[in-house]
Every structure is written in structure tokens, then in C-alpha cells.
Amino acid sequence: MQSGFTDSSGRSISYLRVSVTDRCDMRCVYCMAEDMVFLPREDVLDFDELERLCAIFIGRGVRRIRLTGGEPLVRRDIDGFIGRMGRWLRPEDGRGPGRLDELTLTTNGSQLPAHASALVDAGVRRINVSLDSLRADRFARITRRGRLGQTLRGVRAAREAGLAVRINTVAMAGVNDDEFDDLIRWCGEIGADLCLIETMPMGETGEDRREQYLPLSDVRRDLSRRWTLEPVRAAAGEAGGAGPARYVRIGETGRRLGFITPLSHNFCDTCNRVRLSCTGQLYTCLGSEGATDLRALMRDGGSDADILAAIDGALAHKPARHDFRISGPGGAAGAMAGVGVQGPARHMSVTGG
């Protein structure tokens, strides 16, 4: 079913990413500053407010919702909220009034041992787990405070609970670019897909994105020398472009390998998603500064019709494409030369990954 939301470029918006918190138990170098100042509790939407906004989106045709953070599973009573959201899901046999095709989650994995079963009970069938290294010391440096063993236990708990897992790895030159073969083998062993992501210039994190930027076109060319990469359609559950990854199947493992390339190969022409922050800010583009304040409208007594009108107004100005740019040491050349680093001042964790 086509979404009732259409943006300024005629794209149908059917996918909503919802941040439930800006807080996290890690401080990944590409996502946050090491000394983050988190939002006051009163600025964050309560679960009733979050569900109301999600219901408005669902009522107009959004069919997929992904819960994000920060780290979504550190929010108190999150299992209850996910259970409430699960009631919007269409029954798996297709019989019933559910209006949501899929509810998913992106997590760093640290809290999964305590929550994996509740996710399955709520109707979540697949999740993304952020993991940028299989080496404990390197993992600790990238996350600044994470423990590899804890995340690996989380991945194991998710698989044992019956969740399909995709591992998300931010590819960083000189940081983890010697581990992609190991990650491919490991994902094959545990039955998980892997997605490599180009680093995006969002917020000041104390790291030089120019040094870290690694074009995935180069990575794919290198991997093809050692692995059989067979083009495939989007991963199960992502048909119709529910995400920006472009997939291949690895002949030797049978698992999928995805590439998300916001810098080296723009994918905005197929964008079907918007993002709702935990403070009720609606971001129509990850790479744009503009936002629409739905929290103020809602707390001032705005009706569902008022909120819908505000969403439509925001979509009327959704950019045709993002404008992430990195040039300089390790960065892109050509048209981007001389630009340096260009992207929103807000951190990735503010938007909701």
C-alpha cells in the first residue's frame, strides 16, 4: 500500500525512525562526544506522546517503524512501550486489522540479554546491532566505554531468542579497515548479515572524519578479490527500499553484505523515511539542519489534524538530497575537493541513528 505522505520530490514516505532516548551507555567516536550533556527528562517525550505521534504516522500510511536512540534499550520501561507498539503490527498470517508491517530496532547490543525475549514477544523479528570491531581493545577505543564481550553476549541472546540480526559496522580508515574479512567470516558463522557504513560528518566528536573516511566503492573492489559477491535485492523485510543499503550475497558464507554510501554514492532518490527525535523534532533528512517541532504543537493542545498539517508542511520542504561532504586527507576528491567536512552540527545520537 502506498503511503499517504508524499514529499517535495514525489517520494512516498512509508518508513519512520523513532528515537526513544538520546542517552547511551557507550560514546562511539563517530556518534557522540566523549563528555556528552544529555537532555533534561522533561524535554523527552513520554511513551504516551511517542505512541500518539507514531499512531498519526501509521494512520497516514507509514508501514515500517524502527526504534533507535542513543541506545533505546537503556530507557526505563522500554519493553512495555515496545509491546504497545507491537499491537499495531499486522498478524504474521495476514489476518487481522494491524496496520504496521514491521517494527524493528537498532541497538549496540549491550542490553540484549535482558530484552531479546521481550522484543520477540512484541513482534520484533529482526534487529540491527552496531559493532565496529571484533578486537576487545579496539572495540573499547571506538566505543570509549563499551565491552566487546557484553555486546557479543547480546548478539548471541538475540539469535537464541529467534531474532534475525544484521551487524552494522562503520568503516573507518586506519581504525578497523583491516577487519572486514574477519567480520564477514564471523557473520557467516553466527548466521547474521553484515552492513558496512561510510562515516558521516555529524556533530563534533573530537575525531577527524577526513582521516577516517573510507569510500566503500574501494572496499567492495578489494573484497571482491577474496570473496564471491553476488548482487541481490534488498534483504528480507526491506523490499521496496526500506533502507539505504545495497546488498550482495557472499557466495562462501551465503550471508548478505550491505553497503551504505552517503558520500561515495548518493541514494537519496529512493529515500522513503523521516526521523522523529525523542524530543518530538521531525527531521525529514539526516543531512539537513531543519526540523519541525511536533512536541510544542502537541503539548500546546494541537489536534491530530494540526500535527498532520505540520508533518505535511515539513515534507513539502524535504530536501531532494543530503549534502554530506568530506575532503582532504583520506576524503573524497573531485567535486568535493576543498570543501573540508560538511554536515549538520547536531550529533547522530540527537537525530536517532
Residues at the binding site for [4Fe-4S] cluster are 24, 28, 31, 268, 271, 285
> Residues annotated in the binding site, as ranges?
17, 24, 28, 30-31, 66, 70, 106, 130, 200, 268, 271, 273-275, 285
Q: How far is CA 98 from the centre of its chain?
A: 24
Sign of the four-CA dihedral 152, 158, 160, 166: negative
Q: Measuring CA to CA, how many Å separate 72 from each of 4, 22, 223? A: 28, 8, 33
Q: Which long-range contacts (CB under 8 A, 24 or more apart) does 75-84 make?
A: 75/20, 75/21, 75/23, 77/47, 78/20, 78/115, 79/115, 79/118, 79/122, 80/47, 81/20, 81/47, 81/50, 81/51, 82/118, 82/119, 82/122, 82/124, 83/118, 83/121, 83/122, 84/47, 84/51
Cα–Cα distances in Å, from 303 out to 56, 306, 330? 10, 5, 49
CB atoms within 10 A of CB 16: 23
* The three three-digit cell numbers of residue 350, written as one number: 540527537
Binding residues for GTP: 17, 66, 106, 273-275
Residues making up the binding site for S-adenosyl-L-methionine: 30, 70, 130, 200
Rounded Cα gap, residues 203 and 160, in angstroms: 36
